[in-house]
């Protein structure tokens, strides 16, 4: 099975969690895109969506699905998104698609976070995938120096400007054995907008696609 087929399986499985008249939080990335395409098939059942990026909002609208601002709707019953890495504790690294800040906001505002991924994303320890950090542009060198002090190797993601007008630093070589603590530590560096650790608010359900179909891990 290809990763694409595995992603398709979990995109379809996530639809099972959607109830009538809900407003759905929708993530960003190739797996979230497949979920959006599945959501289009049941669009008559939902009231609309809140998107975690301009790219996802455009894809949702192209299917004729209503996209609300988060401010218009308040808390959401559900958020569906992919991840770059997950542990069995449902601590995640996200932000490979540079949408981490809005993703973290929509996840925070949602009752249930369903994470969908192919099973290659399940890891014992987070950190093989470089940790994305959204940074205010004028602070990038300062933030990079602080990340070196934490043992990381920060690399500016060239040519990328986030939906919020900021830059992304990817931190290599971090062995993340305490994601909750590291998430707070990095958030306290002046100039950091968001870091890609989703540990304080991890996923509630992880759906992994692979050779044996869909495996569910729940907190
Ligand atoms: C975007 C993300 C994505 O969820 C993450 O990068 C996984 O993407 P994909 O589904 O394409 O593997 O966090 O910022």
Tell me the mean pLDDT in the region 10-38. Answer: 98
Ligand 1: atom nearest CA of 196 is 13
Q: What is the pLDDT of residues 44-76, one digit of tens each?
A: 999 999 999 999 999 999 999 999 999 999 999
34-45: average pLDDT? 98
Percent of the chain with pLDDT strictly greater than 90: 99
pLDDT at 175: 85
Distance 146 CA to ligand 1 centre (A): 26
Residue 77 has pLDDT above 90, yes or no: yes
Query: Model confidence at 8, in pLDDT bands (50, 70, 90)?
Result: very high
> What is the β-pairing status of strands 48-51 and 85-86?
unpaired
Domains of the chain (ranges, CATH numbers): 3-123+200-218 (3.40.50.1360), 131-196 (3.30.70.260)
pLDDT band at 219 (very low <50, low <70, confident <90, very high): confident
Average pLDDT over residues 90-118: 98
Pocket flag, ligand 1, residue 131 (CB < 6 Å): no
Judge residue 184's burial from the number of C-beta atoms within 10 Å of its C-beta, 0-12 exposed, 13-18 middle, 19 or more buried: middle
pLDDT for 145-183, tens place per residue?
999 999 999 999 999 999 999 999 999 999 899 999 999
CA angle 162, 116, 127 (to 5 degrees): 65
Closest CA to 14 of 214, 157, 148, 185: 214
Whose tokens are 């540079």? That residue is 98
Check pLDDT > 90 for residue 37.
Answer: yes
Which 8-state DSSP code applies to residue 27?
Answer: -
Mean pLDDT on 118-136:
98
**Mean pLDDT to the nearest integer, 20-37:** 98
What 3-state class would DSSP assign to 189? coil
Ligand 1 pocket, 29 CB below 6 A? yes
- Active centre residues (catalytic): 103
């Amino acid at each position: 099975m290809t990763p694409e087929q595995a992603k398709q399986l979990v995109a379809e499985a996530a639809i099972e969690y959607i109830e009538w008249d809900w407003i759905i939080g929708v993530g960003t990335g190739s797996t979230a895109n497949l979920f959006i395409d599945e959501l289009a098939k049941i669009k008559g059942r939902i009231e609309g969506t809140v998107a975690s990026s301009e790219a996802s909002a455009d894809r949702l609208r192209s299917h004729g699905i209503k996209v609300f601002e988060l401010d218009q709707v308040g808390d959401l019953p559900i958020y569906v998104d992919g991840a770059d890495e997950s542990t069995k504790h449902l601590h995640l690294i996200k932000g490979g698609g540079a949408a981490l800040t809005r993703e973290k906001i929509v996840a925070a505002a949602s009752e249930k976070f369903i994470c969908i991924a192919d099973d290659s994303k399940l890891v014992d320890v987070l950190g093989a995938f470089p940790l994305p950090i959204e940074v205010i542009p004028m602070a990038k060198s300062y933030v990079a120096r602080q990340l070196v002090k934490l043992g990381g190797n920060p690399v500016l993601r060239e040519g990328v400007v986030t939906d919020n007008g900021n830059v992304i630093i990817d931190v290599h070589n971090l062995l993340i054995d305490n994601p909750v603590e590291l998430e707070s530590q990095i958030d306290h560096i002046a100039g950091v907008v968001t870091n890609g650790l989703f540990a304080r608010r991890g996923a509630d359900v992880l759906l992994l696609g692979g050779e044996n179909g869909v495996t569910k891990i729940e907190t």
